[in-house]
Amino acid sequence: MRNSFPLFGTDDETIYNPDELLDLFLNCTADGFAIVDMENRFVRINHKYTEIFGYTEEDLIGRTFYEFSNPDFVPNIIKDVMNGMTFGNMITQRYHKDGSVLDIAVSYSPFRNKQGEIIAIIAIYRDITEIIQMENELHRTRELYELITENTTDMIKVFTKDKKIVYASPSHEKVIGLSVDKIIGRNLDEFLCAEESAILDCKLQEILATGEPQLLRKKFRTVDKESVVYTEYNISPIYNENKEVDSFVSVGRNITERVKNDATIRNLDRLSVTGQLAAGVAHEIRNPLTALKGFSKLLQTCQNREKQADYLAIIMNELDRIDVIVNEFMSLAKPQAVQFVKEDLRSILDSTIKVIHPQAIMHNVQIITSYPGDQLMLLCNPHQLKQVFLNFLKNAIESMPEGGKILIGIEINHEGKVQVSISDEGTGIESDRLRYLGTPFYTTKDKGIGLGLTVSNKIIQEHNGSMKIDSTEGKGTTVIVELDCSVYSGQTI
C-alpha cells in the first residue's frame, strides 16, 4: 500500500500523508469519532469524543467497547455494520465517564480498505443533550400553556394584524355559547359592530405605536340571546424574531358580576344620599306649599281680577319651584342608563347645588361659586357627575356643624384639563386617616356607609379623570376633581 497519494489529481505535485490528513479531519470536526477494529477494540478517537464522554485515549485504545456501558442494541448493530450495513442519526442515551446521562445522536458505518474489505467500524457521535433538554422544556411549556388555556375561564384569542383569528380558547363556549370551530379562521369584525370595530382599530394602532397593552370593554348577548355578558379584554402585542409586532393576543374576562356589583354599590350610595337629603327637600317644599295654601284661600275670597292674576302668578311660580326640586331629587334617586353626552359643567354644578341647597340652609352654610365666563361643555354622564358633586358637597356641609362657606371653583390647567375644586371650612381630616379615604365601607361619620368616595372615585375614573383630597385638621378640606374629557369652549374643537 502506498504511504502517500496526490490530493487533487495525479498531476498535482503536492503530496499528503493519509495519516496526517485523517488527523486533520478528526481534529477539526464538530462530532466525536471512534474507530473500532473487527475485534471490537478501540483503535482511534478524536479530541471531540473526549470532550463529549470524558474518556481519554489512554482509557480506551486497545480496550473493547463491551468493557463500557452501552445500550443493549449496540452489539447487534455492530454485527450488522460488520456485514456492510449503515445506520445513521440514531437517537440514544449514553453515559459520561462521571456517570451522567447524555443524549447522543450516533451513526455507524463500515470502514473499508482499498480492496473493499471491511476492516473497521466508524462511529460518529453528536452531543444533543442541550437540544433534547430544550425540546423537553418547550414540550412541557407547551403542555402547561395548553393546560392553562384549555381550563381557564378567561377567553383567550390570538389574531393577526388583519384581525383574522388563529386561536380561541374553549372558554368562549362556556361564556358566550360559541364553539371554537365557529371562531377560528373568522375576522374579529364579524363579531363587532362598526363603532366597536373602529375602537378596536384605534387600540391596535396605539399598540403598534407604543408597544403597550390596551384595555377594551365589550357588551354582548350570548348565542341563545337569553343573557347579556360584559367582558373586559386586555390586548397585547406578539413579536417575531425581528422584534416586529406579528400578531396580537387578547385575554377577555367575564366582568358581568363586577358590573352588577358596581351598579348595586352605586345605587346603595345614591339611595343613602337621597335618604339623607329627604328632610332638606321636605323643608324646601314646605315653604312653597305654605304659600300655595295661603294664596289659594285668598283666591276664594278675593273678587279683584288683578289681584287674582297676581295670586295665580305666585302660585304658578311656587309650583314650578316644587317641580324643579322634585325632578332634581328624582334624577338622583332613580338609576340612569350610562350614556355620555355633551353637557355644560356649570349647569351640572348648578343643578346639584339646587338639590343640596335646602340642606345647606338648614346647616347655615353658604355656597359660593366661581366659574369662567365661557361655557365648559364636557363629554360626560351628567347624572353620574351630579352624584359625585353631591357626595362632595354633602360631606362639606356635614363637616361644618356650626355653619360656614363652601367655595366651588372651575378652571382649565395648562394641560387643557378641567379642574373642579370644592373647599370647605370644616373640621378637616387627620393625616393618618386621609390615606384610607375611598376604601369601601371606610367612613369617618357615625351614620355613614363608607361608599360615597368609593363610588365617586370610580365614576371619575370612568370619565378618564382623577380625584385628589387635601385636608388640614381644624382648617378644612379641598377636593380637586380633574376631568380628562373632551373640553369645549362654547363650540366643538
CATH number of 16-128: 3.30.450.20
Q: How does residue 421 score in pLDDT terms, banded at 50, 70 and 90?
A: very high
Q: Which three cell numbers stand for residue 42?
A: 478501540
Mean pLDDT of all residues belonging to the chain:
77
Question: CA dihedral defined by 287, 289, 294, 296, rounded to 10 degrees?
Answer: 150
For 124-142, the pLDDT digits (tens) are 999 998 888 888 888 887 7
For 245-274, the pLDDT digits (tens) are 889 988 887 777 777 766 666 665 555 555
Where do the domains of the chain lie? 16-128, 152-254, 259-488
For 443-491, the pLDDT digits (tens) are 445 444 334 566 677 778 778 888 888 877 778 888 888 886 544 433 3
Q: Which three cell numbers stand for residue 107?
A: 451513526
CATH number among 3.40.640.10, 3.40.50.12780, 3.40.50.720, 3.30.450.20, domain 152-254: 3.30.450.20
The residues, ordered by sequence, that sit 6+ positions from 189 with a Cβ below 8 Å of its Cβ are 163, 197
pLDDT reported for residue 280: 53
Q: Is residue 297's pLDDT more than 80?
A: no
CA distance 195 to 88: 61
pTM of the model: 0.38
Q: Is residue 108's pLDDT more than 90?
A: yes
The residues, ordered by sequence, that sit 6+ positions from 390 with a Cβ below 8 Å of its Cβ are 273, 332, 352, 355, 356
Choice between 152 and 128, residue whose per-residue pLDDT is larger? 128
Domains 16-128 and 152-254 share a fold: yes
CATH number of 259-488: 3.30.565.10
Q: Is 304 helix (H, G, I), strand (E, B) or coil?
A: coil
Q: Is residue 407's pLDDT more than 70?
A: yes
